[in-house]
Chain A
Amino acid sequence: MDVQFAKIEGKSVGYWVTVSILAAATIAGFVATLIMNEHGLYLSGMTNRVPWGLQISMAIFYIGLSAGSLVVSGLYGVFGKMEYKPFARIAAYLAMLFLIAGLLSIFTDQGRIDRVFTKPFTYVNATSMFSINPALYSGHIMICVLYLWALFKEKGTLTKITSLVVVLWAIGTHTGTGAIFAFVPRELYNSALLPPSFVAAALSSGAALMILVIVGLSRATKRHLDDDLIIWMGRRLLSIFIVVTFYVLLIENAHRAYLAYSREAGFFFLSGGVHSLMFWVGLIFIGCVVPAVLLFIKRTGTSVPWTVFASVLVVVGVLFERFLIVIPGLIHPPELFPGWEIQDAVIWEGVVSYSISPLEVLQTLGVIGAIGFAFVVGLKVMPLAPLEARVLPAKS
């Protein structure tokens, strides 16, 4: 099937309003980062006990979202489902942007931004996931660029090869991101299941986001999209990814709560405050159970609006999941003296809390603005979106 691609016109009022809002958000985030860089990171909600906050949570959320490219290029490049080729360009472009968003979030979160472009290149530490991951991320970005180029130039063989490489590399990228936490000796972090659960949630959120982007774009540009393409993605892919994510989360938490060594931390995670509410309501109910049920029931699962709704829930649920990877492991204190509670001290001991500061919110909006801007402008200057996407006629 010969797929036609075309730039969007981008002349409507709606388009320019969108571009302006995204540009304004980018500037706001830039200014917020400048202020923090000048005065110090105490302007964030982070403290000596909670040294990572919203920015890192968002970074791993974006990196997870880039798995959309993995899903689409897997369908098309690895399993030969040619009807998904129309979305390959958008998937590759978005994957590139989301990885850049992840890197931007991490970059703006550093204490000494001025050194980030020199020191990590001169002094590599092979035992640090923070040294290994930038290589995985920049490699991923470069492969996406190559993949995109091959798609633009309609290079058949190169497209096949790069789409397979993207799949393999993306699994590495997401595993590496999970390993940032899994390889740290804290009760709520050091789980060998964390990297696979990161991959599972990345696939869920990536597939859900692809559904939202494809449907949104076809509605906004009034280009034809066969409902069956979306319904197949929802019922045959997203639903399974959700179940796998749920399964891995179940095992991880049951294991933690079962073993005496981590029981206290496990129960703290499951029933110890606001984060537990996020887990049960935000992640399990809104992010897993409701969308899975919606997709499995035939009446809702075969309706595009319901599939879109389920996808929104999955993206929100995975956002909670990312926050829950980073924060609870930090606010829960390591047990230094088993049998004893550290009561009073000059620093915050025991269970602490983390609240997001306005500047951190601005930084986050800035990153979303920057990649949103690049996406919307990209649609106008590059033939990324398909003119139409149809189910292939059955072979007779």
Chain B
Amino acid sequence: MDRRNFLKRGSAAVAGAAGALSLPVLSSCTSEAEAAGSRLEGKKWGMLIDLTRCREGCTACMDACREENNVAYHGDRRWDVHWIRKATLHPHEESAGLEEKEVLLMCNQCDEPPCAMVCPVQATYKRPDGIVLVDHHRCIGCRYCMLACPYNARFFNWKENPEWPNKEYPRRSHGVAESCHFCAHLIDKGGRPACVAACERSGAGALIFGDLNDPGSEISRLVAAGGAKRVREDFGTQPKVYYLGL
């Protein structure tokens, strides 16, 4: 065999072996992705926060979120990450008989997400089921999404996170951005967000999660009944988080 033939045959053999090895892997990947795509298609996950049932001083949802998603807490308000947080609203005009009230704030899972629009590497993107999430292996940490989010719902890992309570879910390195993703990893296994489950366990049941595309779901019925509001709808971002009692 001359050198030319050897190279020809050699490379053919290598290519063949590589092909034989990679084909099943590739096809399984594609079918998995297709199956996942069809599973997500047609769904539109949403959350309804019933503030009339949310209890003062209760932190069940926030604690559950931190435990489930390994959300970084450093004890410093400048760098702490909060996927779901409580805030107190104080009326500008007290004379009007309005009183202070507590609200829960989280990523609004916008249908027109400005964060995904500005992400230069498509690390933040919207899935077919409407969930906006971050690929932490792709994020370059430019923090443009944090500027673009009009709800201050996006956070950055300024420091390494020392805690890793849930080994089933990755923790993030410093240098990447993140926000609530409706516990997409649990939804994919047929579950629901950790905060929703925790709120129900606590007895309050203030968080209602479901498919907004399914007219029979509890959330769809509550939204259709009227009275549910979204934060600054005039931004045009089409939030999928609704509030009762705002």
Task: Using CB atoms and an 8 Å cutoff, list the residues of chain A in contact with chain B.
Answer: 37, 39-42, 46-49, 51-52, 106, 109-112, 115-116, 119-120, 122-125, 127-131, 134, 180-181, 183-186, 189, 330, 333-349
- Given contact pairs A125-B117, A186-B147, a sample of 17 additional A-B residue pairs in the complex whose CB atoms are under 8 Å apart: A40-B158, A41-B156, A42-B158, A49-B78, A110-B175, A112-B141, A112-B173, A125-B122, A128-B144, A129-B144, A131-B120, A180-B144, A184-B147, A336-B152, A340-B90, A343-B87, A343-B89
The answer to whether A112 touches B140, judged by C-beta atoms less than 8 angstroms apart, is yes
Given A119-B123, A120-B140; A48-B156 close (CB under 8 Å): yes
List chain B residues, Cβ under 8 A from A122: 121
Q: Is B39 an interface residue (CB 8 A)?
A: no
Q: Which residues from chain A contact B235 at a C-beta distance below 8 Å?
A: 185
Minimum-distance CB pairs A-B, first 6:
A111-B141, A111-B175, A40-B174, A130-B120, A42-B158, A345-B87
Kindly state whether residue B82 has any CB partner on chain A within 8 Å.
yes
Q: From B114, which residue of chain A is reached at the shortest CB distance?
A: A185
Interface flag for B77 (CB, 8 Å): yes
| Residues in B lying within 8 Å of A, measured CB to CB | 62, 77-82, 85-93, 100, 103, 105, 114, 117-123, 138-144, 146-148, 150-152, 155-160, 173-177, 231-232, 235, 237, 246
Checking A39, A123, A334, A346 against B138 with a beta-carbon cut-off of 8 angstroms, the contacting residue is A123
If A47-B79, A48-B81, A345-B85 touch, whether A112 touches B139 (CB-CB below 8 Å) is yes
Structural contact, A41 and B119, CB atoms closer than 8 A: no
Q: List B contacts of A340 (CB < 8 A).
A: 89-92
Decide yes or no: A112 and B90 within 8 Å by CB, A40-B158, A51-B146, A123-B123 being known contacts. no
Residue from A125, A344, A348 whose CB has the most chain B CB atoms within 10 Å: A125
Q: Do residues A343 and B88 form an inter-chain contact, with CB atoms below 8 A?
A: yes
Nearest CB of chain B from residue A230's CB, rounded to whole Å:
40
Q: Is the CB of B156 within 8 A of A342?
A: no
Q: Which residue from chain B places its CB closest to the CB of A352 in the assembled complex?
A: B78
- Which B residue sits closest to A181, measured CB to CB? B147
Would you call A111 and B143 a contact (CB within 8 A)?
yes
A115 to B232 Cα, complex, angstroms: 35
Q: Write the chain A residue with the least CB distance to B145.
A: A51
Docked Cα-Cα span, A183 to B114, in Å, equals 10
How far is A180 from B147 in the complex, measured between Cα atoms in Å? Answer: 10
Given known A184-B118, A334-B151, contact A115–B90 (CB-CB < 8 A) = no
Whether A48 and B117, one on each chain, are in contact in the complex, defined by CB atoms closer than 8 angstroms, is no
**B139: which A residues are within 8 A, CB to CB?**
111-112, 115
Which partner residue on chain A sits nearest B59 by CB separation? A346
Taking a contact as CB atoms closer than 8 A, the residue among B119, B142, B150, B237 that contacts A186 in the complex is: B150
Q: Are B148 and A184 in contact (CB under 8 A)?
A: yes
Is B85 a contact of A346 with CB atoms below 8 Å?
yes
Given A49-B152, A337-B231, A345 and B88 touching (CB < 8 A)?
Answer: yes
A-side contacts of B123, CB under 8 Å = 119, 123
